Amino acid sequence: MKTNLLVTGAMVVSLAAGLAQAADGPIQSAFVVLGDNGAAQARVVTTDGACPSVQIDGRAIAMTVRAAPGTLPLRTTRSTPELSKASEFAVTVCEAPLPRGKTASVGGRPLPLPVSDPKRIVVIGDTGCRIKTSDSAFQACNDANLYPFAKVAASAAAFKPDLVIHVGDYLYRENPCPAGNAGCAGSVWGYGWDSWNADFFAPGAPLLAAAPWAAARGNHESCNRGGQAWWRIMDARALKAGQDCIDPANDGVGDYTDPYAVPLGNGAQLILLDSSNALNNEIDPASPMGLKYRDMYAKYSALAAKTPYSIMVQHHPILAFAATEKAGAITLNPGNLSLLSIFGIGNPWYVPNSTKLLLAGHVHLFEQLSFSTTHPSQFVAGFSGTQEDIVPLPEKLPDTTAPAPGARPSAFSSWIDGFGFMTMERTGKESWSILVHDVDGKVVNRCTAQGKVSSCEIAQVKVPKPG
Ligand SMILES: [Fe+2]
């Protein structure tokens, strides 16, 4: 009898899964990424072996296989061997350049089309559910208030953006949830499709459908973490053998990508940088990593010279703070030391002069800084789902405190221990209305940016936590 009941239960589960599959079809995700010079590319993740066609204004465009299904050989990861496993991708990843058109769809799903002058931008970052054994960090992935990326994605989609910027760190379910932990019980883990789907594609679906994405790569997407899926699914450029994070011997190639620009129209552009492999110590400029980041900076400078106004998007902030606490003493840590040490060679501003706004994540909070020196404003939007960094930042910075040598803050705002997203509405050639939203989309702070200068109404947001 017991066996019969179990069989019946399994059949019910199987039937439900079958119905879900039938309702959704083989396509697991369909979205649009923006690459070099804003070139739009449709991406599809499907359980089918073959790729579907994209319909543009009723015309079918064939998609090609970017990555075939497969289980990649076990490789060294950031975790110990017992906490690592081979990455399984039982899905086909498809791609097709997306020409200009009025309507686009794939498998009956509408695809968002890029506009030449996006005026409404959503900025999110650090969105996965943190399960990391070595840090004893086990975020409650099963609780929509404690892991709220799905809510954030739905609220951000309701803003109806023209463009979504993700400042990096998508995959956090690196290790198994410990037995007896109800908060994350049953979570998938590792760096394969199941983890990426649970951490990013499923909760992020409404926002992936809302607008094309400019996606920056975080340190959680370095080769020894989520880099394999980064290359197979997310990176806007071509997937090349040897640059795919499969063989650790090639990580020196797979961990770096060239900067690229996404035009915003009217003399403005985004420039996306890949800082995924940056550590937080000074780099010898003659070392292999030093040479890589010097080359990146030279290419960034060349792109920045093309327009009078650039917004630089990079996972690690260079002109913001992260607070840490030891034995009750709080330290304000400066911007990323690896990047500052290279970007600052012969340049006290750390970025080309036409870069007037910096967007980053990595620190799990919202933060804004403006400077009395001629440094660009920095915004940090690492507060969109991952367990927050809750060591408090001061409401007012001590006079001599600087996130980088020579940069003197004149305005500082933060929101600690609150989840949400940022929006930017363009109000002029070099000006933006910037809003800070909670998970439900409610505005908790209002900021503006004009050229290199920015300010927010509230220095330190304090709102009750939901739930
Ligand atoms: Fe990060």
Mean per-residue pLDDT for 341-367? 97
The CA 335 to ligand 1 mean position distance, Å, reads 13
The CA 107 to ligand 1 mean position distance, Å, reads 34
The CA 450 to ligand 1 mean position distance, Å, reads 27
Note whether residue 17 is domain-resident.
no
Residue 463 has pLDDT above 90, yes or no: no
The CA 363 to ligand 1 mean position distance, Å, reads 7
Note whether residue 71 is domain-resident.
no
The CA 174 to ligand 1 mean position distance, Å, reads 14
Note whether residue 205 is domain-resident.
yes
Residue in 167, 189, 163, 168 with CA at minimum distance from that of residue 177: 189
What CA–CA distance (Å, rounded) separates 189 from 166? 22
pLDDT of 1: 30
What CA–CA distance (Å, rounded) separates 46 from 27? 4
Mean per-residue pLDDT for 311-330? 96
Mean per-residue pLDDT for 238-250? 97
The CA 67 to ligand 1 mean position distance, Å, reads 26
Note whether residue 74 is domain-resident.
no
pLDDT of 20: 34
Q: Show the domain range for 167.
A: 117-456
Note whether residue 9 is domain-resident.
no
Note whether residue 448 is domain-resident.
yes
The CA 436 to ligand 1 mean position distance, Å, reads 20
Residue 242 has pLDDT above 70, yes or no: yes
The CA 131 to ligand 1 mean position distance, Å, reads 14
Q: What pLDDT, in 10s, does the model give residues 373-426?
A: 999 999 999 999 999 999 999 999 998 899 999 999 999 999 999 999 999 999
The CA 217 to ligand 1 mean position distance, Å, reads 9
Task: Say what percent of the chain tops pLDDT 70.
Answer: 94
Estimate to the nearest angstrom the gap between the alpha carbon of 274 and the chain centroid. 11
Mean per-residue pLDDT for 47-52? 96
CATH number for the domain spanning 408: value is 3.60.21.10
The CA 326 to ligand 1 mean position distance, Å, reads 21
Mean per-residue pLDDT for 165-171? 98
pLDDT of 464: 75
What band does 467 get if pLDDT is binned at 50, 70 and 90? Answer: low
Please, what sign has the CA dihedral across residues 96, 99, 105, 110? Answer: positive
Note whether residue 302 is domain-resident.
yes
Q: Where are the beta strands (DSSP E) in 167-267?
A: 213-215, 260-265
The CA 214 to ligand 1 mean position distance, Å, reads 17
The CA 360 to ligand 1 mean position distance, Å, reads 9
Residue 133 has pLDDT above 90, yes or no: yes
> Which residues have a Cβ under 8 Å from the Cβ of 23 and sit 6 or more positions away?
none
How confident is the prediction for the chain on average, in pLDDT? 94
The CA 278 to ligand 1 mean position distance, Å, reads 10
Number of independent structural domains in the chain: 1
Strands 104-106 and 109-110 turn out to be antiparallel
What CA–CA distance (Å, rounded) separates 281 from 354? 27
**Which of the 8 DSSP states describes residue 150?**
H
Note whether residue 109 is domain-resident.
no
Strands 409-415 and 431-438 turn out to be unpaired
